[in-house]
């Protein structure tokens, strides 16, 4: 790399004239913001200018997103710049988040009857001991929520599940206070309560109508009455033709009976002739 020396300001007033002492070659260097920052030795300002030129996301926006809980990797991917250029602006905000998470462990959990005399860190450490979990591998974090209040989070692993508990932290006298924001945070504040588990909800069976049962009585069941079979219907006579007269009724034959004599004949001894 060749070394140049500054000769002076160009006549346009916007560039610096530099010269190679060995070859007597002169160069023009724009007198922009980067040159001024380099002349002052302001490395932070130089990095900020590079991000502004390569991305539309300004350093203030980067820090706001880091303070809201995003990671360096997430912001770098959104800005389209290397992570190293985001870290220089994220570093002071990450220190702030770590400091808040540490302060929150000295805060007192809010219960139904008021603040607990123990601190959040003491209560959580006791809860982990009761459940036989390793508190040493739990990680604390903090960020600012949309309402401007600090949110403190604790992350740990149970089996293959990643667990997280969240509290709202209000700094104040004697360490401030914390309020549980979810069920995991409530369970840690009350370690003797069994952790809630999810179960599948079975659909309710449809009601089935039960068959009616006959009423039991002491009376004997009535026997069905015998029904006499109806006689077969007589065949109807075929109608006679109207033109044929009905045959005359035959006279009854006269029967022959022995003649009985009248009483006059008996008296006179005469047999009368009776037809």
Domain extent, residue 137, equals: 105-189
β-strands 177-180, 108-111 pairing? parallel
Q: In b/e form, how buried is each residue of 148-187, taking b as 16+ CB within 10 angstroms?
A: eebbbbbebeeeeeebebbbbbeeeeebbbbbbbeebbeb
Query: Do both 112 and 71 map to the same domain?
Result: no
Does 199 reside within a domain? no
* Mean pLDDT, rounded, of the chain: 78
Band of pLDDT at residue 242, cut at 50, 70 and 90: very low
Does 262 reside within a domain? no
Band of pLDDT at residue 150, cut at 50, 70 and 90: very high
Residues 159-166, mean pLDDT to the nearest whole number:
92
Where a domain ends, among 69, 86, 102? Answer: 102
Query: Do both 148 and 178 map to the same domain?
Result: yes
Check whether 207 has a pLDDT greater than 70: no
Residue for token pair 């060995």: 22
Query: Do both 109 and 98 map to the same domain?
Result: no
- Comparison of pLDDT for 182 and 23, the residue scoring more: 182
Where a domain ends, among 189, 205, 221? Answer: 189
62-66, 199-203, 221-225: segment of lowest average pLDDT: 221-225
Does 57 reside within a domain? yes
Where a domain ends, among 48, 76, 102? Answer: 102
Band of pLDDT at residue 256, cut at 50, 70 and 90: low
Does 275 reside within a domain? no
Query: Do both 136 and 168 map to the same domain?
Result: yes
Does 194 reside within a domain? no
- Comparison of pLDDT for 55 and 41, the residue scoring more: 41
CB 169 within 8 A of CB 178: yes
Does 206 reside within a domain? no
Does 21 reside within a domain? no
Residues 133-157, mean pLDDT to the nearest whole number:
94
Query: Do both 124 and 172 map to the same domain?
Result: yes
Task: Quote the pLDDT of residue 214.
Answer: 56
Predicted confidence (pLDDT) per residue in 92-123, tens digit: 999 999 999 999 999 999 998 889 999 999 99
Predicted confidence (pLDDT) per residue in 39-51, tens digit: 777 777 777 766 6
How many independent structural domains does the chain possess?
2
Task: Quote the pLDDT of residue 218.
Answer: 52
What's the pTM?
0.53
- Comparison of pLDDT for 35 and 242, the residue scoring more: 35
Task: Quote the pLDDT of residue 209.
Answer: 61
Query: Do both 52 and 64 map to the same domain?
Result: yes
CB 164 within 8 A of CB 88: no
Query: Do both 124 and 182 map to the same domain?
Result: yes
- Comparison of pLDDT for 190 and 100, the residue scoring more: 100
Residues 247-274, mean pLDDT to the nearest whole number:
54
Task: Quote the pLDDT of residue 208.
Answer: 64
Does 209 reside within a domain? no
Query: Do both 71 and 95 map to the same domain?
Result: yes
Check whether 221 has a pLDDT greater than 70: no
What number of other Cβ atoms are within 10 A of residue 88's Cβ?
15
């Amino acid at each position: 790399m060749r070394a140049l020396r500054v000769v002076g300001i160009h006549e346009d007033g916007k560039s610096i004239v530099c010269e190679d002492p060995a070859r007597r070659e002169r160069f023009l260097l724009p007198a922009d913001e980067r040159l001024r920052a380099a002349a002052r030795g302001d490395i932070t300002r130089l990095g900020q200018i590079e991000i502004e030129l390569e991305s539309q996301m300004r350093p203030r926006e980067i820090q706001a997103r880091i303070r809201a809980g995003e990671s360096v990797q997430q912001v770098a991917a959104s800005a389209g710049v290397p992570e190293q250029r985001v870290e220089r602006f994220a570093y002071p905000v990450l220190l702030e988040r770590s400091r808040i998470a540490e302060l929150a462990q000295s805060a007192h959990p809010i219960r139904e009857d008021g603040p607990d005399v123990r601190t959040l860190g003491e209560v959580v450490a006791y809860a982990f001991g009761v459940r036989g979990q390793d508190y040493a591998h739990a990680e604390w974090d903090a960020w600012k929520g949309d309402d401007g209040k600090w949110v403190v989070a604790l992350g740990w692993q149970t089996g293959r599940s990643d667990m997280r508990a969240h509290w709202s932290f209000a700094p104040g006298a004697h360490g401030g206070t914390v309020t549980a924001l979810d069920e995991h945070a409530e369970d840690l504040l009350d370690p003797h309560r069994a952790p809630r588990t999810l179960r599948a909800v079975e659909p309710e069976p449809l009601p089935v109508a039960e068959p009616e049962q006959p009423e039991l009585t002491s009376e004997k069941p009535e026997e069905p009455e015998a029904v006499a079979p109806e006689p077969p219907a007589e065949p109807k006579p075929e109608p006679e033709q109207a033109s044929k007269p009905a045959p005359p009724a035959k006279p009854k034959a006269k029967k022959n009976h022995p003649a009985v004599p009248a009483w006059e004949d008996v008296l006179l001894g005469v047999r009368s002739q009776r037809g």
